[in-house]
Amino acid sequence: MSQLDLSGCRKRKRGERVFKFKVFGERGYPTEFNGSFHENLRALLEFGHVGRCGGAMSSWSFQLEVRRHPSMHLFLFVVEEPIELSLELRCNHCHYIGWGSHMICNKKYHFLLPAKSGSGNYCKSNVIELQGDQGHSLHGVFHPNGFGHLLCIKGSESGSGLPGHQIMDFWDRLCSGLGARKVSLKDVAKNRGMDLRLLHAVAYGKPWFGHWDYVFGRGSYGVSREMYQSAINAIQSTPLNLIIAHHLGFGTNGQNEVQIILPRYQILSSHALITLGDLFHFMLKLKFRIPKESSVADSHYPRIMSDASCRWSPKRVEMAIHVVVEALKRAEFQWVSRQQVRDMARAYVGDTGLLDFVLKSLGNHMVGKYFVRRCLNPVTKVLEYCLEDVSRAFPKQEASNFSLVEAKSKSRNKVSWGQLMRDILYMYKNILISDLNQNVVMSSNNNNGVLANIHLASRVILDSKHLVKEYRGDLETYDEANKWKIHCSVGEGENLTPYHCIVLKSNAMFDELKCEVEKTFRAMYFGLREFEAESVRDYAGPISGSDLVFKTVRPGSKIVFECNKQEGINGKVNVVDCLCGAKDDDGERLVTCDICQVWQHTRCVQIPENDEVPSIFICNACEQDIVRFRSLQ
């Protein structure tokens, strides 16, 4: 079922409740959320506007007020998808994150937040796509057992009316309120072409979703949790002095952009930036402090151009700055008087007013990799200028190297928001993900190894897409209104369902427990629709149906009911045995050998990403067997 026709949904009645977006999902809003996941879900849906989707699926909608002035409303849709209408019985998302052994549930619940805001009529669009996420700001899906997946989240840059972090806050509140067990996601979030899982791992030691406590769930291409953490540690701790040493002498006129970028942010920082992690952490932190300026302020010299007395165009100002810097270079980094600098620049800039403005504004200002110093000579009482190449002293660990300029630079913007974003993008492309085989000539074998390790660590982090968050463990044991809880699972051997909480009276008998277990598990799992609770595993001694449950087991205990009849649980599983070490399908593109029927990653067998999978493929092992067989003939 790829589309949901909501044309049958009637217009919302006057007086029906409108919920506040920023608190929706919190305890008590709109319900207390004090039961199991399935109970909390049913309690939430009681507040929704009921509709039918294509005549086959039930749906509920909630009108959410984002703000009043100007008015902005969104609609949350919850769609109940019976397993009979699913394109596939088994959930691939469960399989990719490592929950492939879970039994198939009877239903899925889709939570959809359309990208377009609404104002009054909540059914302006007749169709909601379940399989495609082009029109959704948010698409999450839950199984009735409390395990779920965040399939899609799109912020303002993707056309949504809300920024991504607000949508993520909303999703996190929903999961917490409903009492979800675990939620997975595939982290493919990008910003300006940069993978956020890599950028934030270098800056913060965790992915962007890590701000909501999502952590490594499962790696692709054989990447383990230990490999992932080691890659983060290695790339964060890479010394900046090795990076700048690698780029010395490369580029136009012996300079490289890296030699300009690193000193720029060292000057801005209040402490020494020593490692790659320090640099990216500071740059991303600066991103939220600098306002997005106009195109004029987005020049290389935002402070100068924003001066109220500046009446010249950015192009003329930048030309004059270049002339002054070149004049100071000819002074061979010696202190020279203001009049001497003015006289040298006067040969190229005829506008003395422009020259005076630039000389006044340029003092203690960064220009590329140079810092223009200005001070009053205590003997002659004349203003003097000196040019300092900060890249020569960078990056020494002593913060005192920059103590003379820090005090004057803290209160001034030395970089615009646009320049900052260009610098982040440059460092990302040329340091984190650049192809080392196409990089500049290495200055030493040691530097070559350092940059190769950065590339390798980046690859490991990028291959760690599947994240997971555990929202709720087992419910606490407590006595409320003479009712106690017990946690039950069903299965045979190692194939068990997750434990589910069953609430009973304190004097309940085992017959009542079996009845509740059968009712709960039949309604939840496709393979247990005819389930009958049999014996209790690992219990020494006979149990009678009239025995009191809580005289036999303690409240809050876990028990397993044996079940030999589990229809529809098993499915065809591809045999994966890849060169990278992967033994299971991780969601990456695979190709199967036509002889041994074993699956391998197309990337690992050197099939280019943009090429089609060949119709006939023989793996390396089978190819070698064929060669040996021919040699025997």
- Give the pLDDT band (50/70/90) at residue 2: very low
Chain centroid to CA 92 = 20
The amino acid occupying position 162 is L
Stretch among 151-155, 189-193, 255-259, 424-428 having the lowest mean pLDDT: 255-259
What pLDDT does 415 receive?
A: 77
Asked if 198 and 433 touch (Cβ cutoff 8 Å), the reply is yes
The amino acid occupying position 89 is L
Chain centroid to CA 156 = 15
Chain centroid to CA 594 = 37
Token output for 174: 């929903």
Distance between CA atoms of residues 149 and 587, nearest Å: 14
Distance between CA atoms of residues 492 and 508, nearest Å: 26
What pLDDT does 494 receive?
A: 75
Distance between CA atoms of residues 129 and 498, nearest Å: 30
Top-confidence range, 239-248, 451-460, 572-581, 591-600: 591-600
Mean per-residue pLDDT, 352-379? 83
Render pLDDT for 550-589 as a digit per residue (tens, 0 to 9): 998 888 889 999 876 555 444 456 789 999 999 999 999 9
Give which of 395, 361, 440 is closest to 282, Cα–Cα.
Answer: 395
Element at 402 (helix H, strand E): none
What pLDDT does 337 receive?
A: 92
pLDDT at residue 305 tops 70? no
What pLDDT does 224 receive?
A: 96
Render pLDDT for 199-217 as a digit per residue (tens, 0 to 9): 999 999 999 999 999 999 9
DSSP helix/strand/coil, 454: helix
What pLDDT does 222 receive?
A: 94
The amino acid occupying position 618 is I
> What Cα–Cα distance (Å) separates residue 364 from each residue in 80, 346, 390, 476, 556?
64, 21, 12, 62, 68
pLDDT at residue 1 tops 60? no
pLDDT at residue 122 tops 50? no
Q: DSSP letters of 603-630?
A: TTTT--TTSPPPSS---HHHHHHHHHHH
Render pLDDT for 42-96 as a digit per residue (tens, 0 to 9): 999 999 999 877 667 899 999 999 988 888 999 999 999 999 888 888 899 999 9
DSSP helix/strand/coil, 178: helix
What pLDDT does 387 receive?
A: 85
Annotate 587-615 with b (16+ C-beta within 10 A) or e (fewer). ebebbbbeeeebbbbbbbbebeeeeeeee
**Please, what is the average pLDDT of the chain?**
81
Asked if 18 and 63 touch (Cβ cutoff 8 Å), the reply is yes
DSSP helix/strand/coil, 439: coil
Render pLDDT for 475-491 as a digit per residue (tens, 0 to 9): 544 445 667 889 999 98
What pLDDT does 391 receive?
A: 59
Asked if 265 and 274 touch (Cβ cutoff 8 Å), the reply is no
What pLDDT does 266 receive?
A: 85
Unique residue bearing structure tokens 């200055």: 443
What pLDDT does 133 receive?
A: 61
What pLDDT does 473 receive?
A: 56
Show Cβ contacts of residue 565 under 8 Å, excluding neighbours closer than 6 positions.
530, 531, 532
Render pLDDT for 436-476 as a digit per residue (tens, 0 to 9): 444 333 333 444 567 788 999 999 999 999 999 999 754 54
- Which H, E and C letters describe 488-540, residue by residue? EEEEECCEECCCEEEEEECCCEHHHHHHHHHHHHHHHEHHHCCCCCCCECCCC
Distance between CA atoms of residues 423 and 260, nearest Å: 10
Cα(first)–Cα(last) distance of the chain, in Å?
A: 55
Distance between CA atoms of residues 194 and 199, nearest Å: 7
Mean per-residue pLDDT, 501-528? 92
More confident residue, 277 or 381: 277
Distance between CA atoms of residues 174 and 113, nearest Å: 12
Give which of 363, 374, 366, 412 is closest to 390, Cα–Cα.
Answer: 366
Query: In residues, how long is the chain?
Result: 633
What pLDDT does 232 receive?
A: 97
- Give the pLDDT band (50/70/90) at residue 361: confident
pLDDT at residue 241 tops 60? yes
